Amino acid sequence: MASTASTATHELTYDRFTILLHWLTAILVVTLWALGQSIGFFPEGPFRKGLLGVHILLGIMVGAVILARIGWRLSHGRRLPPADQGALEWVAKGAHLGLYLLLVLTVAFGLGRAWVHGVEVFHWFTFPRPAFATRAVTHTISEVHGDLGDIIVIVAGLHAAAALFHHYGMRDSVLRRMLPGKRRG
């Protein structure tokens, strides 16, 4: 009997790589948002430039992780039955798709921001500043990138709140599906 319960629990958890990519994305998003919010508080100089470099490199890492998530999900990731039915299932799917889209757009606008500013990253490489990078274009791309980052944090916060509601309010296994830890079975 314990074997069946263990197998059922195992079947209702995502594979380790999916879980790793999920939590890596979450950690990177929170770190990037915090960096993005705080870089402007530091005076111009090497420290601020270094923080910007870290922000850009972590942003590139988010892009790579998102591409890995999409590729893994489409090819190897464990498919689980939906946790909800009907409207809640569609809301969950829409939220996940929206988060993926927001992440891709934020990374794209972040790279665009680095490009139009001609940012140098740790003397490793410099984004060549294009001729069309007027003050208005630079400002617009920077604003869109920042706004998208804020929207991601809001949507991800709602996503986390929904997972906590499932766990504590509905007392189902939705949150446990994505928790890291020892896999049974």
pLDDT average, residue stretch 78-91: 76
Q: 33 is in which domain, residue-wise?
A: 2-178
Domain membership of residue 124 (yes or no) is: yes
> Residue 136, exposed/middle/buried by CB under 10 A (0-12, 13-18, 19+)?
exposed
The residues facing 77 across adjacent strands are none
Question: What pTM was computed for the model?
Answer: 0.84
pLDDT digits 0-9 by tens, 154-164:
999 999 999 99
The counts of H helices and E strands in the chain are 5, 2
Any alpha helices (H) in 1-45, and if so which ranges?
2-11, 16-38
Q: Are 50 and 38 in contact (CB under 8 A)?
A: no
Domain membership of residue 38 (yes or no) is: yes
Q: How many domains does the chain have?
A: 1
pLDDT average, residue stretch 135-147: 96
